[in-house]
Amino acid sequence: MEIDAFRAALDEWLDEHEAALAPSHAGLGTLDEEMAQLAKVRRLVYDAGWSRYGWPERVGGLGGSGLLRAYLGEVLTARDLIEAGIYSMPEVLAPTMIDFASEALAAEMVPKLLRGDEVWCQGFSEPGTGSNLAALSCRAVATDEGWRVSGQKVWTSLAQYSARCVLLTRTGDADSAHRGITALFVDMDSAGISVRPLETMHGLEEFSEVFFDDVLVPFDRTLGERDRGWSIAMDLLPYERSTSLWHRGAFLHRRFGQLLSTVDPEALDPRRVGEVAQLLYAFRARSRATQRRLAMGETLGSETSIDKLLVSTAEQAVFDLVAEGLASAVTIGDDAQSRRWRAEFLYSRASTIYGGTIEIQRNIVARRLLELGSDR
């Protein structure tokens, strides 16, 4: 199905099913409420076929270009039915399985993720490795029974809700850096895994510490080749900076629009409003071009760091305006809407940190796009 026909048919379906899709909570829900809403929406859009478009048939998809997925996330965000950040996680996790799991495993697992039957997480960062991902130390040792995993992950989003984890482990020497990393697909109910949720500054237990104590992972759960996990992480980063960012941009558009409709016009400097609008539209133009390249079958690379830098900057710029224009909501309001503006303002402080800090993104731009050579 092409994008225009998809858009028209989906919009009509969403109008018809407005009541069934609507969240049961008002304003900012608890994370449990948000997760329940997300699972409900995922199931409804999957069973009606919408979220199967843009994915290959061998994992239960209905084919078609990735633009269809991009639009689905955009319209669900625009209608305030889902929270874009947690909704977009399959945009990275599903391609990992499609590209690197065995066909049978991908075919078995991906539909559960897309339908919302399961939540998965990504076990990348560790206490000692934030920006320097290649230094990770969570260890996997090959034994007669399979991999034995011991170590710790942190900032693992939604780990406490997750049935599976795409986990990066150290399988080479301690100093093998990016050459000795292996990716595993781990059942979160395996013996030896414990999860301790962390409360963020915006008040949600969105990420966790995850501890692995001699956890057995069968060899057939290895993603890609042994010791080649780094290339999986690298191959996935552009996915993280394409469709997910398009969805993020849709969220920013909705909230900027709501700011404009709510704010006392005297409370904002019009020039600043114009600057933020230009930045947001420039991101949207750039991200749309990226979506189209992806749909044409192009391989995305380091140039998507530009998309990421733009959306990170735009997110903080939008919520800086919110903090100015809706100052009393953000600082002293305690009703549901105020709590939501405040939480989103606080969350926006992380937009230049998560998914690769803006310093790391600038390093990629300098090294790969400007070819400035080594920084040492």
Partner 1 sequence: MDAADLELFERSLRHALADHEGPGLDEALEALGWRDALSIEPQTAVAVLFELLGAENATSSALDQVLTAAAGLDDEGAACLLLPPLGRTDPPGQLQDGACVIRGLAGSSLHHRDAVVVVARDASGGCVALNVAKAELEVRPIEGLDPALGLSELSGTIPLGSHASELGAADWSAAVAQGSLALGHELVGAGRAMLELARSHALERVQFGRPIGSFQAVRHRLSDSLVAIEAADGLLAAAWEDGTPLTASMAKAFAGRSARTAAGHCQQVLAGMGFTAEHPYHRYLRRVMVLDQLLGASSSLTRQLGEDLLGDRRLPSLFPL
Q: Could you list the residues that contact partner 1 (CB under 8 A)?
A: 3, 7, 67, 70-71, 74, 253, 256-257, 260-261, 263, 265, 268-275, 277-279, 281-286, 288-289, 291, 306, 309-310, 359, 362-363, 365-367, 369-370, 372-376
Q: Which C-beta is closer to partner 1: that of 36 or that of 75?
A: 75
CB of 75 to partner 1, least distance (A): 10
CB of 180 to partner 1, least distance (A): 27
E strand intervals along the chain: 120-123, 139-142, 147-157, 164-170, 181-187, 193-198, 207-217, 222-223
| Cβ pair 18, 96 in contact under 8 A | no
CB of 78 to partner 1, least distance (A): 9
Structure tokens at 77: 């965000």
Q: Which C-beta is closer to partner 1: that of 139 or that of 272?
A: 272
**Cα separation of 242 and 304, whole Å?**
7
CB of 181 to partner 1, least distance (A): 25
CB of 157 to partner 1, least distance (A): 26
Q: Which residue has the tokens 């049935």?
A: 163
CB of 335 to partner 1, least distance (A): 21
Residue 285 CB neighbours (<10 A): 11
CB of 3 to partner 1, least distance (A): 6
Q: Which residues pair with 156 in a beta bridge?
A: 208
| Cβ pair 333, 339 in contact under 8 A | yes
Structure tokens at 181: 């990393």
Q: Which C-beta is closer to partner 1: that of 299 or that of 374?
A: 374
Q: Which C-beta is closer to partner 1: that of 75 or that of 195?
A: 75
Q: Count H helices and E strands in the chain, helices first.
A: 14, 8
Q: Which C-beta is closer to partner 1: that of 230 or that of 256?
A: 256
Instruction: Classify residue 220 as exposed, middle or buried by CB count within 10 Å of its CB (0-12, 13-18, 19+).
Output: exposed
CB of 278 to partner 1, least distance (A): 4
Q: Which C-beta is closer to partner 1: that of 28 or that of 67?
A: 67
| Cβ pair 247, 84 in contact under 8 A | yes
3-state DSSP percent of the chain in helix, strand and coil, to 5: 55, 15, 30
Among 254, 205, 232, 258, smallest CA distance to 86 is for: 205
Q: Which C-beta is closer to partner 1: that of 220 or that of 359?
A: 359
CB of 312 to partner 1, least distance (A): 11
**Cα separation of 376 and 110, whole Å?**
42
Q: Which C-beta is closer to partner 1: that of 43 or that of 293?
A: 293
Q: Which C-beta is closer to partner 1: that of 47 or that of 275?
A: 275
Residue 300 CB neighbours (<10 A): 16
Among 165, 89, 87, 161, smallest CA distance to 125 is for: 165
